[in-house]
Amino acid sequence: MATEKWIAGSGQGLTWGDAFTSSTLNSIANGNSILSDLAISNGTPLDIYCDLSMSLASAAFVSPNFVGFYLYPLNQDGTTYGDGRFGSSAAGNPPGQYFIGTISFPAATQAQTGSIIRTTLLPGTFKFVLYNQGGVALASSGNVVKYRTYNRSIV
């Protein structure tokens, strides 16, 4: 009888790695989005799933109190990701076709944490986009988003 189990990805694997450099997420205004400055290559490892883990430094978060995440693929031109927006923090919500999930958190003045699990990855190169709907700008430092990759195996 076959058994199905999770196995570490061939790319990042189960060790958490940076999805954004920490300075990229500094002071992102409420209602703004930012494209990660780190490209993730999944052309050779071809990992299928990833988890995202977020830690935001303390701020006075208010309703609607969530952060959205999107996955922008590298386009055929070899330089543009997704719709080409958010290379720097800018107002707006990325298009729905790139959406992967939200992390909701309490409306409170405190640090916030959360995860998105079992996101399906694309083959090829991509970057994550963060959309801030925490009700306030993110703190000026101490904001972190990491990811890890894995697959399923039948043995």
Domain ranges of the chain: 4-154
What is the pTM assigned to this prediction?
0.95
pLDDT in tens, 125-134: 999 999 999 9
Read off φ and ψ for residue 95, nearest 5 degrees.
-60, 150
- Do the Cβ atoms of 149 and 12 come closer than 8 Å? yes
Confidence of residue 6 (pLDDT cuts 50, 70, 90): very high
Look at residue 5 in the predicted model and tell me its pLDDT.
Answer: 93
pLDDT in tens, 81-126: 999 999 999 999 999 999 999 999 999 999 999 999 999 999 999 9
- Please tell me the distance from the alpha carbon of residue 154 to that of residue 27, in angstroms, as a whole number: 45
Confidence of residue 155 (pLDDT cuts 50, 70, 90): confident
What is the percent of the chain with per-residue pLDDT over 70, rounded to a whole number? 100
pLDDT in tens, 28-59: 999 999 999 999 999 999 999 999 999 999 99
What's the topology of domain 4-154? Jelly Rolls (2.60.120)
